[in-house]
Amino acid sequence: MSHYQPPFSITSKIIDLIANISEHIGRLSVIDEEKNLKLRRINRIRTIQGSLAIEGNTLSEEQITAILDGKRVIAPPKDVQEARNAIKAYEAFETWAPSSNDDFLKAHQILMSGLIDDAGLYRSGNVGVMNGKTIVHMAPPAGRVNQLMSELFHWIESTDHHPLITSCVFHYEFIFRTNGMSSWQGCQKSTEFIHPFADGNGRMGRLWQTLILNKWNPIFAQLPVESMIHERQADYYQAINLSTQGTDSAPFIEFMLTVILQTILEVAPTDQVSDQVSDQVKKLINSMTNQWVSADQLIKNLGLSHKPTFRKNYLKPALEAKLVEMQNPNSPTSPKQKYRLAT
């Protein structure tokens, strides 16, 4: 067994993103069971719709909801089949192990059932990346796919990196495997376009990243990360290209962690924020951590420019509701004043 080590850098941005995600993810655990189930259903629908839309599926969230409820939907049969398969896959995926090749193939069989002839099987033919009628990159021969995937699964099982990093690296390596030194090629840098399946590679990569995250914290089964990726498809592919050009998947890791954090902030109602609190205060709370920060930085984080508006609509009501606290409450107007979430 080759002890393959995917090449990637741990940047300061990656470290900061992991800290922020870890802090904010705990806020989802306070949702009561009834709200939890409702949120899970809504976000599962968004996840399926987002992942399929990236692949050109035209179904809306409403149509996928109808399919989930067993209702008839007037739409292209292929799109409906893709949705039904995705629903089944996301219902079963918590029983799979991230490092299991057998489970990986089972997942593909469910996801691509009725869509391709070799669902659940690695490709038997060669594939390439086309730019118009020109082949710009050839994948490794089909006979090497088993080895490449086995090495990747072995890395998942043996790595001690944070699951947030592991999940992003797998997602990237599954599509573009970058090697710092490849003995079989005898070159310093290379990129292998694995694409182990004839079809369904993109949705499998995103599904498996969610599975890895879910094993770290089950709350990830509720987060529509794939919907957020769909909204930022251009950035998604740019991050892949930057990582490929630099033979380092750090840009892709940074992008994915940013999307994960944005998803958490979008859907996570904090236990401190009630339904009566304004949307502005909710945005302020979701942009903060337990670290002291200046008003200027908070304004920047929120994308605002008018300080009086920030103080009137965001900061003051948050302080009055005791959701935010001052570092120096005896000097509330001090220019050096800083704020954090109330403890």
The pLDDT tens digits of the residues spanning 10-37 come to: 999 999 999 989 888 876 655 544 455 5
Using pLDDT thresholds of 50, 70 and 90, give the confidence band for residue 74. very high
Q: Looking at 41-133, which runs of residues are DSSP E strands?
A: 128-131
Q: In the predicted model, is pLDDT for residue 287 greater than 50?
A: yes
Residues 292 and 250 in one domain: no
Q: 5 lies in a domain?
A: no
Domain count, the chain: 2
Residues 259 and 290 in one domain: no
Using pLDDT thresholds of 50, 70 and 90, give the confidence band for residue 130. low
* Partners of 294 in beta bridges: 338
Domain termination residue (choose one: 220, 245, 267)? 267
Residue 78: what pLDDT? Answer: 96
Query: Which residue range is the domain that position 144 belongs to?
Result: 12-267
Residues 260 and 292 in one domain: no
Residue 182: what pLDDT? Answer: 32
- Distance of alpha carbon 296 from the chain centroid: 30
Residues 306 and 200 in one domain: no
Tell me the per-residue pLDDT of 256-282, one tens digit each, with 9 for 90 and over. Answer: 999 998 888 776 554 444 444 577 887
Q: In the predicted model, is pLDDT for residue 139 greater than 50?
A: yes
Q: 72 lies in a domain?
A: yes
Considering the chain, what is the average pLDDT of its residues? 82
Residues 129 and 37 in one domain: yes
Residues 171 and 90 in one domain: yes
Domain termination residue (choose one: 210, 239, 267)? 267
Residues 143 and 251 in one domain: yes
Residues 242 and 291 in one domain: no
pTM higher than 0.85 = no
Tell me the per-residue pLDDT of 147-196, one tens digit each, with 9 for 90 and over. Answer: 989 999 999 999 999 999 999 999 998 876 654 333 223 333 344 567 88
Residue 244: what pLDDT? Answer: 83
Residues 245 and 289 in one domain: no
User: % helix / strand / coil in the chain, to the nearest 5?
Assistant: 60, 10, 35
Residues 319 and 194 in one domain: no
Provide the token pair at 251: 């840009």
Domain termination residue (choose one: 267, 295, 318)? 267
Query: What is the arithmetic mean of pLDDT over 321-330?
Result: 84
Closest CA to 259 of 299, 219, 227: 227
